[in-house]
C-alpha cells in the first residue's frame, strides 16, 4: 500500500481491522519514511527501530488471536524525549541526562503500550522543554518540513516535525506555555493542551510542575481526541491528577457548533506584533465558525497583557527547583571535581545550555528571600486574576478563539539572540496554562505572506474538551485542509 505514512491513526486502525495491512507493514513504512526525511529534519533523538518491529510483530500476533489491546493496537507512535521510558535513553533534550537509562516507565508510556502502540523512538525538543523552536536542544535543532530553513516550533518541535512529515501519525508532547500548540500551529497540525490534571505527569521530566501538561500532536482532530482518550484519566501516582475518567469525545465530535457562543478577545485582536498573514487566515477562520452557526461575541481579558510576565516568573521559579536534582550524584552526566560542590557546579555548567541556565537564575532570584512577594507572589496573584478573568468570560461563551501564535515558522537563528522576542511566541497560549484550561490549535491553512501554516486556537472551560473537539472538528471538516494534498508539506 502506498502512502501508508500519510494515513491518520484512525485510518490505520481501520486498515488493520480490515486486514488490509499488518502492523509490521506500517512499522516498516514508517522506518522507511524516517530514513527518507530525518536526515533533513532531525526529529529523532533516539530511534527504536528494532523494538518497533518487535512490538509490531507482537501486535500482529495479538490481532491474529483476537486479543487486540485496543482499536489502535499496532498503530505506532514516538514520544517527546521527556517521557521517561524504561530502558530507552530519555534526555529531555539535555546533555546533563546523557547516558541515563531509566529504570521505569512513566504513566503515559505505559498507557500507550497498554493500548498496543509500537514504540518508534524518542523525539527532539528544547532542553527541558524551555523554548519555542528546538534551538535550545542540547543535541541540535529540528527543522520544519514545510521549509527546512525554518524551525518546527517548540518545545515539542521533534514531535511536530515528525508528525507533519508523515513520520508518525501521532506523538505526545508537553505544553507548559504553548509547547504543543505553537509547534502544531507552525507545522500545520492539531495540538491539544488538555485541562491541567487530565493527563498524568508521572514519568514526565518536570519543567514547571504547576503548568506542565502532556498533549497530543496529530494531523486530525479525531486522532487527537482518540489519543487523549487512550492516555488521559486519573492516575494515583500523580497527586494533581483529576480523579475522574476521560469522557467519550468521539461519540459527540461531529455534533456541530450551531448555537455555540465563541468569544473573540479584544486585547488579543488589538495586540501588536501579530503577522498580517496570520491575522488574515485567523480572521477567515472566525468567519468560518460564524458561517457554521456559531455566534461570535466580543470579550475582554484585561489580565492578558500580564500573562507572559507572570509566566516567566512562575515557570523559572519552579524549574530552578525541579532542575536542582541534576547534581551528578546519582545519574546522568558527571564532571569530576576536587570536591562535591565543584563536581556539581562543573557538571551543571557543562550539562545545561544557556536558556536553561538563564531560567534557573531567573527563578532562583524570584524565589529569594526579600524578592519572593514582589516576584513569585505577584505572579501568583496575576495567575489568580487570569483564572477569574477566564471564569467570568466563560459564563457568557462556550469557547474563546484566538490565533495560536503571532507568527508562522521563523528561520533558524532569527530569534536566538533575543530571548524576549522568542518568549513572545507564547503570548496567546501562556494564559491558558496559567489558568489550567483546555485549548486546541487547529490548522487554518497557510499564510499568504510565506505559504507557511497558521493555527487557530480554541480555548475551552476546564474539563470541557468535549465542546473543544466538537468545534475543532466542525472547523477542520469544513475547511477540508487536513489530509488534503494542500495540507501536506512537499518534503
Partner 1 sequence: MSTTKEDLFETTCGLEIHVELATASKMFCGCKVDFGGEPNTRTCPVCLGLPGSLPVANEKAVEYTMKIGLALNCKIAEYSLFHRKNYFYPDMPKDYQISQYDLPLCYAGHVDIAGDWGTTTVGITRVHLEEDTGKSIHVGGSGRIHDSAYSLEDFNRAGTPLVEIVSEPDIHSVAEARAFVSELRILLDSLGVSDVRMEEGSLRVDANISVRRRGETEYGTKVEVKNMNSVRSVGRALEYEELRQREAIEAGEQLVQETRHFDERTGTTSSGRTKEGSSDYRYFPEPDLVPFEPSAEWVDRVQSTLGETPTDRRARFATEYGLGAKDIEVLTATSATADWFETAAKAYGGDAKKVANWIMADLYGLLNEASIELTESKIAPDQLAGLVKLVDGKSISGKQAKSVLAEMFSSGKDADAVAKEKGLEQISDTGALEGIVDEVISEHAEAAAKVRAGNLGTIGFLVGQVMKKTRGQANPGLVNDLLRRKLT
Shortest Å, Cβ 30 to partner 1: 26
Cell output for 84 = 521517561
- CB-based contacts of 290, cutoff 8 Å, min separation 6: 296
Which cell numbers hold the place of 8? 491518520
> Is 97 a residue that touches partner 1 (CB under 8 A)?
yes
306 binds partner 1 (CB under 8 A): no
C-alpha 466 chain-centroid distance: 19
Give the contact letters, 13-52, x = binds to partner 1 (CB under 8 A), - = no: ----------------------------------------
Residues near 238 by Cβ (< 8 Å), separated by ≥ 6?
A: 107, 197, 200, 201, 202
Binding mask 175-214 for partner 1 (x = CB under 8 A): --------------------------xxxxxx-xxx----
Residue 100 binds to partner 1 (criterion: CB under 8 A)? yes
Candidate ranges 30-38, 53-61, 168-176, 237-245; the one touching partner 1 (CB under 8 A): 237-245
Under rule CB under 8 A, residue 158 binds partner 1: no
Dihedral (C-alpha) 477, 479, 480, 484: value to the nearest 10 degrees? -140
Three-class secondary structure of residue 16 per DSSP: helix
User: Does 378 sit behind a cis peptide bond, omega within 30 degrees of 0 on the bond before it?
Assistant: no
Candidates 45-53, 79-87, 129-137, 460-468: pick the segment binding partner 1 (CB under 8 A): 79-87
Residue 389's alpha-carbon distances to 160, 312, 401, 433, in angstroms, are: 31, 19, 15, 14
The whole-angstrom distance between residue 64's C-alpha and the CA centroid of its chain comes to 34
Tell me the C-alpha distance between 285 and 458, whole Å.
11
Our answer to whether residue 94 is catalytic in this structure is: no
- Catalytic annotation present for 179: yes
Binding window for partner 1 (CB under 8 A); candidates: 170-178, 180-188, 253-261, 369-377: 369-377
Closest CB 324 distance from partner 1, rounded Å: 4
- Residue 2 touches partner 1, criterion: CB under 8 A: no
Q: Does 374 bind partner 1 (CB under 8 A)?
A: no
Find the part of the chain contacting partner 1 (CB under 8 A) among 36-44, 76-84, 284-292, 396-404. 76-84
Q: Is 406 in the site for partner 1 (CB under 8 A)?
A: no
* 331-350 positions binding partner 1, by CB under 8 A: 331, 339-341, 344
Rounded Cα distance, 10 and 247, in Å? 18
DSSP character for 396?
A: T
**Under 8 Å between Cβ of 80 and 173:** yes
Q: Bridge partners of 296?
A: 262
C-beta of 368: minimal distance to partner 1 in Å?
A: 6
Which H or E element spans position 377? Answer: none
- Give min distance, CB of 177 to partner 1, in A: 15
Tell me if 236 contacts partner 1 by CB under 8 A.
Answer: yes
Kindly report the backbone phi and psi dihedral angles of residue 180, in degrees, each rounded to the nearest multiple of 5, phi listed first: -105, -45
Least distance in angstroms from the C-beta of 369 to partner 1: 5
Among 70, 252, 266, 364, binds partner 1 (CB under 8 A): 364
How does strand 170-174 pair with strand 77-80?
A: parallel
CA atoms of 234 and 7, how far apart (whole Å): 30
Q: Which residues contact 415 (CB under 8 A, 6 or more apart)?
A: 133, 421, 422, 425
Piece in contact with partner 1 (CB under 8 A), picked from 30-38, 175-183, 361-369, 411-419: 361-369
Please select the residue that binds partner 1; options are 24, 37, 78, 82, rule is CB under 8 A. 82
Q: Which of 59, 80, 137, 447 is catalytic?
A: 80
**154 touching partner 1, by CB under 8 A:** no
One of 123, 317, 356, 385 touching partner 1 (CB under 8 A): 317
Q: Alpha-carbon distance 289 to 221, whole Å?
A: 16
92 scored as a contact of partner 1 (CB under 8 A):
yes
Residue 179, CB-side half-sphere exposure with 13 Å CA sphere: 32
Catalytic residue chosen out of the listed positions 155, 185, 405, 407: 155
Quote the cell numbers at residue 245: 475518567
Interface with partner 1 includes 106 (CB under 8 A)? yes
Joined grid coordinates for residue 393: 468570560
Minimum CB distance to partner 1 smaller for 64 or for 324? 324
The residues annotated as belonging to the active site are 80, 155, 179
Residues that bind partner 1 (CB under 8 A): 82-84, 90, 92, 97, 100, 102-104, 106, 201-206, 208-210, 236-240, 317-318, 320-321, 324-325, 327, 329-331, 339-341, 344, 364, 367-369, 372, 376
Amino acid at each position: 500500500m502506498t502512502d501508508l505514512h500519510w494515513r491518520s491513526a484512525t485510518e490505520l486502525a481501520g486498515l488493520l481491522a480490515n486486514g488490509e495491512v499488518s502492523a509490521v507493514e506500517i512499522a516498516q513504512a514508517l522506518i522507511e519514511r524516517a530514513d527518507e526525511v530525518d536526515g533533513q529534519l532531525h526529529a529523532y533523538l533516539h530511534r527504536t527501530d528494532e523494538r518497533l518491529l518487535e512490538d509490531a510483530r507482537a501486535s500482529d500476533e495479538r490481532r491474529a488471536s483476537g486479543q487486540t489491546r485496543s482499536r489502535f493496537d499496532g498503530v505506532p507512535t514516538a514520544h517527546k524525549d521527556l517521557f521517561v521510558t524504561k530502558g530507552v535513553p530519555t534526555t529531555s533534550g539535555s546533555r546533563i541526562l546523557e547516558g541515563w537509562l531509566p529504570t521505569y516507565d512513566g504513566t503515559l508510556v505505559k498507557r500507550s503500550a497498554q493500548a498496543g502502540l509500537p514504540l518508534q523512538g524518542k523525539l527532539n525538543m528544547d532542553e527541558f522543554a524551555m523554548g519555542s523552536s528546538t534551538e535550545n536542544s542540547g543535541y541540535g535543532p529540528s527543522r520544519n518540513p514545510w521549509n527546512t530553513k525554518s524551525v518546527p516550533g517548540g518545545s515539542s518541535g521533534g514531535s511536530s516535525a515528525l508528525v507533519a512529515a508523515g513520520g508518525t501519525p501521532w506523538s505526545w508532547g508537553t505544553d507548559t506555555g504553548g509547547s504543543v500548540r505553537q509547534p502544531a500551529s507552525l507545522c500545520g497540525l492539531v495540538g491539544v493542551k488538555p485541562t491541567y490534571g487530565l493527563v498524568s505527569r508521572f514519568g514526565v521530566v518536570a519543567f514547571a510542575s504547576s503548568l506542565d501538561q502532556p498533549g497530543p500532536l496529530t494531523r486530525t482532530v479525531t486522532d487527537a481526541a482518540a489519543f487523549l482518550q487512550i492516555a488521559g484519566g486519573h492516575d494515583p501516582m500523580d497527586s494533581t491528577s483529576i480523579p475522574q475518567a476521560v469522557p467519550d469525545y468521539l461519540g459527540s465530535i461531529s455534533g456541530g457548533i450551531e448555537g455555540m457562543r465563541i468569544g473573540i478577545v479584544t486585547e488579543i485582536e488589538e495586540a501588536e506584533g501579530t503577522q498580517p498573514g496570520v491575522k488574515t487566515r485567523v480572521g477567515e477562520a472566525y468567519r468560518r465558525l460564524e458561517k457554521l452557526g456559531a455566534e461570535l461575541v466580543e470579550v475582554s481579558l484585561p489580565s492578558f497583557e500580564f500573562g507572559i510576565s507572570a509566566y516567566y516568573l512562575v515557570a523559572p521559579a519552579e524549574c530552578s527547583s525541579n532542575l536542582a536534582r541534576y547534581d551528578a550524584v546519582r545519574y546522568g552526566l558527571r564532571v569530576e571535581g576536587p570536591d562535591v560542590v565543584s563536581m556539581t557546579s562543573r557538571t551543571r555548567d557543562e550539562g545545561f545550555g544557556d536558556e536553561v541556565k538563564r531560567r534557573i537564575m531567573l527563578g532562583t532570584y524570584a524565589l529569594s528571600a526579600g524578592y519572593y512577594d514582589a516576584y513569585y507572589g505577584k505572579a501568583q496573584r496575576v495567575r489568580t486574576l487570569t483564572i477569574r478573568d477566564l471564569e467570568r468570560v466563560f459564563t457568557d461563551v462556550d469557547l474563546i478563539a484566538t490565533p495560536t501564535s503571532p507568527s508562522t515558522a521563523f528561520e533558524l537563528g532569527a530569534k536566538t539572540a533575543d530571548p524576549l522576542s522568542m518568549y513572545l511566541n507564547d503570548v496567546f497560549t501562556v494564559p491558558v496554562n496559567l489558568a489550567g484550561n483546555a485549548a486546541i490549535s487547529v490548522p487554518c491553512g497557510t499564510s499568504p505572506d510565506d505559504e507557511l501554516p497558521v493555527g487557530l486556537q480554541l480555548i475551552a472551560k476546564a474539563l470541557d474538551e468535549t465542546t473543544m473537539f466538537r468545534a475543532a472538528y466542525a472547523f477542520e471538516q469544513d475547511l477540508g485542509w487536513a489530509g488534503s494534498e494542500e495540507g501536506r508539506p512537499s518534503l
